[in-house]
Amino acid sequence: MIEILKQLSDAGGISGFEFVLAPKVEELLRPYCDEVTRDQCGNVIGWVHCGETDAPTVMIESHMDGIGLMVKNITDRGFLTFVPIGGIDPRILPASEVVVCGKKELFGVIGAKPPHLQSQEDAKKAPKISDMAIDVGMSAEEVKQIVSVGDMVYFKTEAVSLPCGKGFSGKYLDDRAGVVSLLICLERLKGHKLPFHLAVLCAVQEEVGLRGAKMGAHSIFPSAALVVDVCHGNTPNSGAESVFAPGSGTVLSLGPNIHPKMAEIAKRAAEEKGIQFSLDVDGGNTGTDAWAVQVARTGIATLLLSIPLRYMHTTVETLSFDDVTATGDLLAETLIHLNGEDFSSCI
């Protein structure tokens, strides 16, 4: 599964361009699902049928898109200006290596005016996106043969394992680590007969407004949903509130976005099976697909599990693979516990 996470991390597929990643996700789901489909907006949906026509449906979900850039203009000197796709801190962009997806993929670097050529006042400020450009080392005429306005640009960083423990660093671990946790869950469920149909939603466009989850949850409309995303991992300068150490297990959210019975079942499953977890208290909107799922149609009983992640929305997002495994394990055990009285009482 670590190798699968590396493959997903290294791929493109930013918000709105997930179609380049979707075939790989479909391939990964097929060994576990009775059928795998893709809807009109690009969501990948796997189905595990229980054999009972009138059985309810439960959904597990993670988004598969990542942040990136889109070509805005080609200057008369061959530079590419761009706009951000998703929440990007402009400070991470200068000197970044990127891949421009035109008629063929082009390697490029993001440049900005060096401090030597700026005024002392300007050199103290973070550069604006409007002051940066992608350099692919070609003339305007050469670039225009390959690149068009609107082409996707993704970060080139390749995932690596860190030397200690199960550390892992790369881009788009938000939330392709969540996709891998769904696969771990499906692997753990082999041989288990669930009393409901299981829908597996790998959603698009979370980074630009939870859009794929909104559409997918509306279409599937399960009785209950278990959503996976990332949360903030601790860093040297982080406070103690709502940050969690990589390696400390999965994070179970509590609050208005979470159905209390779902949280109770997940907590009991973790304790019974010895799955490492922490609790995160959120007073309102979790800012994840769980919010979109919860309010779909007439409402869905929703649970959120999160994987601690350092340096979110950068090209060096960092986590412990043990937490990805713990999340997948708790997904599976919670689904196994969703039966009989427990399942009925959380609808």
Upstream peptide bond of 76 is cis (omega within 30 degrees of 0): no
Q: How would residue 117 be classed by pLDDT, with cut points 50, 70 and 90?
A: very low
Q: How would residue 342 be classed by pLDDT, with cut points 50, 70 and 90?
A: very low
Q: How far is CA 275 from CA 111, 125, 256, 310, in A?
A: 45, 46, 24, 21
The answer, yes or no, to whether residue 123 has pLDDT greater than 90, is no
pLDDT at position 37 is: 97
174 known ligand binder:
yes
pLDDT at position 32 is: 97
Q: Rounded to whole angstroms, how far apart are CA atoms 157 and 26?
A: 24
Residues 126-149 have pLDDT tens digits of 788 999 999 999 999 999 999 999
Q: Which range among 41-50, 115-124, 177-186, 257-266 shows the weakest confidence by mean pLDDT?
A: 115-124
Q: List, in sequence order, every residue forming a beta bridge with 15; answer none if it has no partner.
A: none
Q: How would residue 74 be classed by pLDDT, with cut points 50, 70 and 90?
A: very high
pLDDT at position 341 is: 42
229 known ligand binder:
yes
pLDDT at position 237 is: 76
76 known ligand binder:
no
In percent, how much of the chain has pLDDT > 90? 84
Domains present along the chain, CATH in parentheses: 2-66+172-345 (3.40.630.10), 69-155 (2.40.30.40)
- Within its chain, how far is the Cα of 241 from the centroid? 22
pLDDT at position 343 is: 45
Q: How far is CA 323 from CA 79, 209, 281, 283, 327, in A?
A: 41, 26, 19, 24, 6
Task: Select the more confidently predicted residue: 341 or 200.
Answer: 200
Tell me the one-letter amino acid at 322.
D
pLDDT at position 114 is: 57
207 known ligand binder:
yes
| Other C-beta atoms lying within 10 Å of the C-beta of residue 79 | 19
pTM of the model: 0.93
Average pLDDT over residues 197-217: 97
- Phi, psi (deg, nearest 5) at residue 168: -150, 135
Sign of the Cα pseudo-torsion (74, 75, 78, 79, in order): negative
Contact in structure between 201 and 210 (CB atoms under 8 Å): no
Write down the mean pLDDT value for the chain: 92
Residues belonging to the active site: 206
